[in-house]
Structure 1
Amino acid sequence: MTTSVVIAQLHVGWDVEANLSAVRAVLDETWPGDVVLFPEGMLSGYGEDLTPLVAVDVSAAVDQVAKLAVDREVEVFCGSLLPYGDGWCNAGIHFAATGDRHVYRKINLAMSERGVLTAGDELPVFPAGDLTVGVQLCREIRFPEQWQHLADRGAHLFAYLTNGANPREPAGVWRSHLISRAAENQRFLAAANIAHPEQHCPTMLISPRGEVLAELPPGRPGVLRHTIDPARTANWYLGQRRRDVVAVSAGRP
């Protein structure tokens, strides 16, 4: 059975109400059964300088998105910094159409996040209608073993939420990473980035063969929609891994 994936590329700032308004506007145009993605830090705001976080309260916004997911009968994957323990974490939240909520906490923190945010320690997958979805955030594109683990756990779709606007990154590198993560694991990959003049990572949808199915122009807000068939995912390459060699290599000094 096919599923419609909707990916939003939006401006994100430290104004929670403005961020929530942008999310609401996108969800108002969705259809029952859609799987909808928003960028990293979409609700809370995000930046290399995390000091504005002390004035942020996302609790009401999180509750409102949860209600919108139920009302619109959609599966929402949305980035936000969230309170965690005595501090904060960088999270990808799954708001299910049933009202359930699931949270992925970023396990491989950016250098600017370390000492400020608490890293996660799990790589879960989430049921989203007819799909199983694994979430990764921003710099985790650099760590292919995490994506392979999510594929092993049965993910049909990688939901990649990022806040990628770094002029120091070479053009095209992150786009290449995205295509590789999809093709090497034979999984669909949906990438949602912020709309920013210095955006270095595209917002796009990639097939299990590494084909770019849809892509938004960089730098300005937009929304793309495309239908995917989870039956097109496969374990052909994953099944050919030389675990004997990897296990031997890992034990060498």
Structure 2
Amino acid sequence: MKLTAIVAQFPVSLSIQNNLNVIDSVLGQTNPGDLVIFPEGSVSGYSSDITFLQQINLDELKAGLEHIKRSATAKINVWIGTCVKVEGKWFNTAQGFSPNGDVQIYHKINLAHHERGVVSAGNTLPIFELNAPEGTVKIGIQICRELRYPEQWRWLAQHGAQIILHLNNAVGDDTYQPVWKSHLISRAAENQRFVLSANNAAPKQVSPTIAIAPDGKVIDEMVSAELGIFRVELELSKVSNWYLDQRRSDVVEIKSGVSQ
């Protein structure tokens, strides 16, 4: 079974309309059946100065998300990052929009230090199903710094995720770029899953925008301050439990009180 994915990066701004204009330009290059992934905060905007949340126009944000939902009816699956306010609480989310109108949401579990006390953390690691031209595909989601917590990725793999999407907004000190890239390669290879990571485009990216195969080999990547996309074909038969099934679970086992 094959799936075509588009991984897109662009300079995420604090203007919802500007972000939507760029997202629309990318979606205009898609084909029916494509899976499209954008960076963390790609609709709402994102900043390490968490006071940016106070400037978000909630009505404009809601309208923007509805716009992307309608765009997905062109027979594509779209995953975007956005901060949202639900019942008075802020969450850093990844939201998936499917051709049938469904909206799937992941709430970031492991918050950045500057988010804590302002943004509420999620507490579940759901597996999402999306309908692709050749069948159903299972995916997991991680956001930004969660690449440093391999147990979360392992949990997703153990529970059936074939692809793990990583929505990222890591900019500022590009000397760490080899470290973050190495983490992503490890997450793919140790779990034998495809990893697609979309980062904010910036002069100093802490991590590349990258697609990695289940054997740990890089399929494509980019490091740039500009809008950029690449299209990759994922052969899902390469996903395997070969290493997972050899685990010494009698010695070490990942357990959790909440699985979904």
- Band the TM-score falls in, shorter-chain normalisation: over 0.9
TM-score for both structures, normalised by structure 1: 0.95
- Structure 2 distance, partners of 1:178, 1:219, is 20
- Whole-Å Cα distance in 2 between the matches of residues 189 and 198 of structure 1? 22
Residue 112 of structure 1 aligns to a residue whose secondary structure is: coil
Unpaired runs of 5+ residues, structure 2, are 254-260
Question: Could you say which residue in structure 2 is the equivalent of 1:81?
Answer: 83
Is 1:45–2:41 an aligned residue pair?
A: no
Equivalent residue pairs, number: 246
User: Where does residue 214 of structure 1 map in the other structure?
Assistant: 220
Letter in structure 1 aligned against 2:95: I
Distance 1:104 1:211 in 2: 27
**SS of residue matched to 1:22:** helix
Q: Which moved more, 1:25-34 or 1:83-92?
A: 83-92
Is the 1:108–1:139 contact (alpha carbons within 8 Å) kept by the matching residues of 2? yes
Secondary structure of residue in 1 paired with 2:160: coil
Note the C-alpha offset of 1:171.
3.5
Give the RMSD, CA atoms, in angstroms.
Answer: 1.1
Q: Percent identity?
A: 41
Aligned pairs for 1:11-50 (under 5 A) are 11-50=11-50
Counterpart pick for 1:155 among 143, 161, 169: 161
Q: Look up the match of 1:187.
A: 193
Q: Deviations over 1:225-244 (max 9, x none)?
A: 01011111000111111111
Which of 68, 90, 109 is the equivalent residue of 2:71?
68
1:110 to 83, 93, 112: 112
Shift of 1:162: 0.4
SS class of match (2:100):
coil
User: Which amino acid letter does the alignment assign opposite residue 125 of structure 2?
Assistant: L
Contact persistence 1:37–1:159 (CA under 8 A): yes
Q: CA deviation at 1:204?
A: 1.1
CA distance in 2, matches of 1:168, 1:64: 34
Between the aligned partners of 1:103 and 1:155, the Cα distance in structure 2 is 15
Cα separation, 2, equivalents of 1:245 and 1:3: 36
Structure 1: where are the runs of 5+ without partners? 248-253
Residue type of the alignment partner of 1:236: W
Which among 227, 230, 235 is matched to residue 236 of structure 2? 230
Letter in 1 for 2:181: R
Contact 2:40–2:143 (CA<8 Å) still a contact in 1? Answer: yes
Which residue does the alignment assign to 1:250?
Answer: none
Amino acid at match of 2:23: V
Aligned to 1:146: 152
Q: 1:29 is matched by which residue type in structure 2?
A: Q
Say which is worse superposed, 213-222 or 89-98, in terms of deviation.
Answer: 213-222
